[in-house]
Protein backbone atom coordinates (compact mmCIF):
# COMPACT_ATOMS: atom_id res chain seq x y z
CA UNK A 1 0.00 0.00 0.00
CA UNK A 2 1.28 3.45 -0.83
CA UNK A 3 1.10 5.41 2.41
CA UNK A 4 1.52 8.97 1.30
CA UNK A 5 -0.99 11.74 1.01
CA UNK A 6 0.94 14.83 1.95
CA UNK A 7 4.56 15.95 2.48
CA UNK A 8 5.01 19.07 4.56
CA UNK A 9 8.29 20.96 4.93
CA UNK A 10 8.61 23.98 7.21
CA UNK A 11 11.26 26.64 7.61
CA UNK A 12 13.47 26.81 10.66
CA UNK A 13 11.49 29.51 12.44
CA UNK A 14 8.22 27.60 12.58
CA UNK A 15 6.44 26.50 15.72
CA UNK A 16 3.02 25.28 16.76
CA UNK A 17 0.74 22.61 15.31
CA UNK A 18 0.05 21.78 11.69
CA UNK A 19 -2.53 19.48 10.14
CA UNK A 20 -2.33 17.29 7.05
CA UNK A 21 -4.96 15.43 5.06
CA UNK A 22 -6.61 12.13 5.94
CA UNK A 23 -4.68 8.87 5.76
CA UNK A 24 -1.01 8.20 6.26
CA UNK A 25 1.74 10.24 4.67
CA UNK A 26 5.21 9.33 3.51
CA UNK A 27 7.09 11.96 5.50
CA UNK A 28 6.70 15.25 7.27
CA UNK A 29 9.66 17.38 8.27
CA UNK A 30 9.62 20.32 10.64
CA UNK A 31 11.84 22.11 13.12
CA UNK A 32 11.40 23.68 16.56
CA UNK A 33 8.50 22.00 18.33
CA UNK A 34 6.11 21.60 15.43
CA UNK A 35 3.46 18.91 15.83
CA UNK A 36 2.02 17.33 12.69
CA UNK A 37 -1.50 15.92 13.05
CA UNK A 38 -3.64 13.92 10.65
CA UNK A 39 -7.17 15.35 10.23
CA UNK A 40 -10.05 15.17 7.79
CA UNK A 41 -9.33 16.77 4.40
CA UNK A 42 -11.83 19.56 5.00
CA UNK A 43 -9.82 20.60 8.08
CA UNK A 44 -6.35 20.30 6.55
CA UNK A 45 -4.14 23.32 5.88
CA UNK A 46 -4.24 22.61 2.16
CA UNK A 47 -7.57 21.47 0.75
CA UNK A 48 -7.64 19.18 -2.32
CA UNK A 49 -10.96 18.78 -4.14
CA UNK A 50 -11.71 16.66 -7.20
CA UNK A 51 -14.64 14.78 -8.70
CA UNK A 52 -15.35 12.38 -11.54
CA UNK A 53 -15.94 14.14 -14.87
CA UNK A 54 -18.00 13.31 -17.95
CA UNK A 55 -17.23 14.71 -21.40
CA UNK A 56 -18.88 16.72 -22.89
CA UNK A 57 -21.26 17.44 -19.98
CA UNK A 58 -18.49 18.88 -17.78
CA UNK A 59 -16.71 20.85 -20.48
CA UNK A 60 -16.47 24.59 -19.96
CA UNK A 61 -17.24 27.11 -22.68
CA UNK A 62 -13.55 27.35 -23.57
CA UNK A 63 -13.29 23.58 -24.10
CA UNK A 64 -11.38 22.89 -20.88
CA UNK A 65 -12.42 20.74 -17.94
CA UNK A 66 -11.89 21.49 -14.25
CA UNK A 67 -9.50 18.99 -12.70
CA UNK A 68 -8.59 19.95 -9.14
CA UNK A 69 -9.27 22.81 -6.72
CA UNK A 70 -6.68 23.69 -4.08
CA UNK A 71 -7.80 25.65 -0.99
CA UNK A 72 -5.38 27.67 1.14
CA UNK A 73 -6.12 27.23 4.85
CA UNK A 74 -2.73 28.47 6.01
CA UNK A 75 -2.44 31.88 7.66
CA UNK A 76 -0.14 33.04 4.86
CA UNK A 77 -0.32 33.20 1.06
CA UNK A 78 0.73 30.15 -0.94
CA UNK A 79 1.04 29.39 -4.65
CA UNK A 80 0.99 26.30 -6.84
CA UNK A 81 4.55 25.63 -8.00
CA UNK A 82 4.22 22.25 -9.70
CA UNK A 83 1.57 19.89 -11.07
CA UNK A 84 2.36 16.31 -12.07
CA UNK A 85 -0.02 14.09 -14.06
CA UNK A 86 0.17 10.32 -13.59
CA UNK A 87 -0.35 7.64 -16.24
CA UNK A 88 -3.19 9.63 -17.83
CA UNK A 89 -0.80 12.34 -19.05
CA UNK A 90 -1.35 11.31 -22.68
CA UNK A 91 -5.08 12.08 -22.35
CA UNK A 92 -4.70 15.48 -20.69
CA UNK A 93 -3.17 18.41 -22.56
CA UNK A 94 -2.68 22.09 -21.85
CA UNK A 95 -2.90 21.54 -18.09
CA UNK A 96 -2.83 25.03 -16.63
CA UNK A 97 -3.08 26.91 -13.35
CA UNK A 98 -2.43 30.40 -12.03
CA UNK A 99 0.99 30.33 -10.38
CA UNK A 100 0.45 33.61 -8.54
CA UNK A 101 -0.08 33.46 -4.78
CA UNK A 102 -3.53 33.15 -3.28
CA UNK A 103 -4.54 34.31 0.17
CA UNK A 104 -5.84 32.31 3.14
CA UNK A 105 -9.34 31.07 2.39
CA UNK A 106 -8.92 31.51 -1.37
CA UNK A 107 -8.90 28.77 -3.98
CA UNK A 108 -6.85 28.00 -7.08
CA UNK A 109 -8.06 25.80 -9.92
CA UNK A 110 -6.19 23.41 -12.17
CA UNK A 111 -7.76 22.85 -15.60
CA UNK A 112 -6.88 20.95 -18.75
CA UNK A 113 -8.09 19.70 -22.10
CA UNK A 114 -9.04 16.09 -22.78
CA UNK A 115 -7.73 14.57 -26.01
CA UNK A 116 -7.53 11.05 -27.43
CA UNK A 117 -10.37 9.70 -25.29
CA UNK A 118 -12.76 7.71 -27.46
CA UNK A 119 -16.51 7.74 -26.98
CA UNK A 120 -17.45 5.29 -24.24
CA UNK A 121 -13.88 5.26 -22.89
CA UNK A 122 -12.75 6.41 -19.45
CA UNK A 123 -9.40 7.11 -17.83
CA UNK A 124 -8.29 7.21 -14.20
CA UNK A 125 -6.55 10.47 -13.31
CA UNK A 126 -3.90 11.09 -10.66
CA UNK A 127 -2.70 14.66 -10.13
CA UNK A 128 0.03 15.52 -7.61
CA UNK A 129 0.19 19.18 -6.62
CA UNK A 130 3.01 21.06 -4.90
CA UNK A 131 2.28 24.37 -3.18
CA UNK A 132 4.71 26.78 -1.59
CA UNK A 133 4.60 29.81 0.65
CA UNK A 134 6.94 31.70 2.94
CA UNK A 135 8.62 29.02 5.04
CA UNK A 136 6.37 26.18 3.92
CA UNK A 137 6.18 23.68 1.07
CA UNK A 138 3.46 21.04 0.79
CA UNK A 139 3.04 18.22 -1.71
CA UNK A 140 -0.34 16.54 -2.12
CA UNK A 141 -0.15 13.18 -3.88
CA UNK A 142 -2.91 12.30 -6.31
CA UNK A 143 -2.34 8.52 -6.35
CA UNK A 144 -4.62 7.80 -3.38
CA UNK A 145 -8.15 6.42 -3.23
CA UNK A 146 -9.53 9.71 -1.92
CA UNK A 147 -7.93 11.85 -4.66
CA UNK A 148 -7.92 9.61 -7.71
CA UNK A 149 -10.81 10.37 -10.08
CA UNK A 150 -12.17 9.32 -13.47
CA UNK A 151 -12.80 11.21 -16.69
CA UNK A 152 -15.23 9.47 -19.05
CA UNK A 153 -16.38 10.42 -22.52
CA UNK A 154 -20.03 9.71 -23.21
CA UNK A 155 -21.03 7.19 -25.83
CA UNK A 156 -22.46 8.73 -28.99
CA UNK A 157 -26.24 8.62 -29.18
CA UNK A 158 -28.94 10.16 -31.34
CA UNK A 159 -32.21 11.32 -29.81
CA UNK A 160 -35.20 11.61 -32.15
CA UNK A 161 -38.06 13.97 -31.36
CA UNK A 162 -41.72 13.39 -32.07
CA UNK A 163 -41.69 16.25 -34.58
CA UNK A 164 -39.23 14.59 -36.95
CA UNK A 165 -36.09 16.29 -35.71
CA UNK A 166 -33.00 14.72 -34.11
CA UNK A 167 -30.06 15.64 -31.91
CA UNK A 168 -26.59 14.13 -31.48
CA UNK A 169 -25.72 13.42 -27.84
CA UNK A 170 -22.25 12.83 -26.44
CA UNK A 171 -20.44 14.95 -29.04
CA UNK A 172 -19.12 18.48 -28.88
CA UNK A 173 -18.38 21.10 -31.49
CA UNK A 174 -18.85 20.38 -35.18
CA UNK A 175 -19.40 16.80 -36.34
CA UNK A 176 -19.85 15.31 -39.80
CA UNK A 177 -23.00 13.24 -40.27
CA UNK A 178 -25.15 11.60 -42.91
CA UNK A 179 -28.81 12.47 -42.44
CA UNK A 180 -31.55 10.18 -43.72
CA UNK A 181 -34.74 12.08 -44.51
CA UNK A 182 -38.28 10.99 -45.23
CA UNK A 183 -40.27 13.60 -47.11
CA UNK A 184 -44.02 14.04 -46.94
CA UNK A 185 -45.76 11.22 -48.88
CA UNK A 186 -42.34 9.91 -49.91
CA UNK A 187 -41.83 6.30 -50.93
CA UNK A 188 -38.08 6.26 -50.31
CA UNK A 189 -35.51 7.69 -47.93
CA UNK A 190 -33.27 10.53 -49.10
CA UNK A 191 -29.65 10.35 -47.93
CA UNK A 192 -27.81 13.64 -47.41
CA UNK A 193 -24.15 12.90 -46.78
CA UNK A 194 -21.21 14.65 -45.14
CA UNK A 195 -23.17 17.41 -43.45
CA UNK A 196 -21.13 19.42 -40.93
CA UNK A 197 -23.46 20.21 -38.04
CA UNK A 198 -23.26 21.80 -34.62
CA UNK A 199 -23.75 19.01 -32.07
CA UNK A 200 -25.14 21.41 -29.47
CA UNK A 201 -28.44 21.89 -31.29
CA UNK A 202 -31.01 19.94 -33.30
CA UNK A 203 -30.21 18.87 -36.85
CA UNK A 204 -33.06 19.51 -39.27
CA UNK A 205 -32.54 23.26 -39.62
CA UNK A 206 -28.84 22.63 -40.26
CA UNK A 207 -29.36 20.15 -43.09
CA UNK A 208 -29.26 21.44 -46.64
CA UNK A 209 -32.41 20.79 -48.70
CA UNK A 210 -34.45 19.82 -45.62
CA UNK A 211 -37.72 21.54 -44.79
CA UNK A 212 -40.16 21.40 -41.89
CA UNK A 213 -42.23 18.63 -43.47
CA UNK A 214 -39.24 16.29 -43.70
CA UNK A 215 -38.67 13.78 -40.93
CA UNK A 216 -35.22 12.59 -39.91
CA UNK A 217 -35.46 8.79 -39.68
CA UNK A 218 -31.75 8.06 -39.34
CA UNK A 219 -28.39 9.67 -38.61
CA UNK A 220 -25.01 8.15 -39.44
CA UNK A 221 -21.83 9.20 -37.67
CA UNK A 222 -18.58 7.40 -36.92
CA UNK A 223 -19.64 4.49 -39.18
CA UNK A 224 -22.76 3.75 -37.12
CA UNK A 225 -26.30 4.60 -38.19
CA UNK A 226 -28.85 5.46 -35.50
CA UNK A 227 -32.37 4.68 -36.73
CA UNK A 228 -35.57 6.24 -35.41
CA UNK A 229 -37.04 3.76 -32.88
CA UNK A 230 -40.46 3.93 -34.58
CA UNK A 231 -39.18 3.42 -38.12
CA UNK A 232 -41.20 0.86 -40.10
CA UNK A 233 -39.50 -0.08 -43.39
CA UNK A 234 -42.55 -2.05 -44.60
CA UNK A 235 -44.79 1.03 -44.43
CA UNK A 236 -41.95 3.44 -45.30
CA UNK A 237 -42.90 5.59 -42.34
CA UNK A 238 -43.03 5.97 -38.59
CA UNK A 239 -45.38 3.92 -36.42
CA UNK A 240 -45.82 6.78 -33.94
CA UNK A 241 -44.81 10.31 -33.06
CA UNK A 242 -43.18 10.01 -29.65
CA UNK A 243 -39.54 9.77 -30.76
CA UNK A 244 -36.83 8.35 -28.53
CA UNK A 245 -33.26 7.04 -28.53
CA UNK A 246 -31.99 5.82 -31.91
CA UNK A 247 -31.27 2.14 -32.50
CA UNK A 248 -27.68 1.48 -33.69
CA UNK A 249 -27.44 -0.23 -37.08
CA UNK A 250 -24.79 -1.15 -39.63
CA UNK A 251 -26.88 0.19 -42.50
CA UNK A 252 -29.09 3.24 -43.09
CA UNK A 253 -32.90 3.05 -43.09
CA UNK A 254 -34.64 2.14 -46.34
CA UNK A 255 -38.12 1.28 -47.51
CA UNK A 256 -38.98 -2.29 -48.50
Q: Going residue by residue through the chain (256 aa), what tens digit of pLDDT does each one get?
A: 344 455 555 554 443 334 444 433 333 333 333 333 444 555 567 889 999 999 999 999 898 999 999 999 988 999 999 999 998 999 999 999 999 999 999 999 999 999 999 989 999 999 999 999 988 888 899 988 889 999 999 999 999 998 899 999 999 889 999 999 999 999 999 999 999 999 999 999 999 889 889 999 999 999 999 999 999 999 999 999 999 999 999 999 999 9
CA separation for the pair 79, 130 (Å, rounded): 9
Kindly report the number of other CB atoms within 10 A of residue 190's CB atom.
14
pLDDT (0 to 100) of residue 136:
85
pTM score, whole prediction: 0.71
What is the enclosing helix (H) or strand (E) of 121? none
pLDDT (0 to 100) of residue 137:
87
Helices (H) and strands (E) in the chain, counts: 0, 24
pLDDT (0 to 100) of residue 7:
52
CA separation for the pair 186, 255 (Å, rounded): 10
Domain architecture of the chain: domains with CATH: 6-153 (2.60.40.10), 157-249 (no CATH)
Amino acid sequence: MKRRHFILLLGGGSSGALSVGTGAFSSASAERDVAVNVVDDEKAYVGYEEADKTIPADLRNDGTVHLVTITNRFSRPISIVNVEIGDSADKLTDVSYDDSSFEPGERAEITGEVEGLDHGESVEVEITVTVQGTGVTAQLFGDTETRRFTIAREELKVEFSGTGDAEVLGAEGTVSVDVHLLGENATSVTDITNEDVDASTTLRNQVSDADDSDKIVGVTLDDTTYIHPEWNPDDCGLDGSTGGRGDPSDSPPSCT
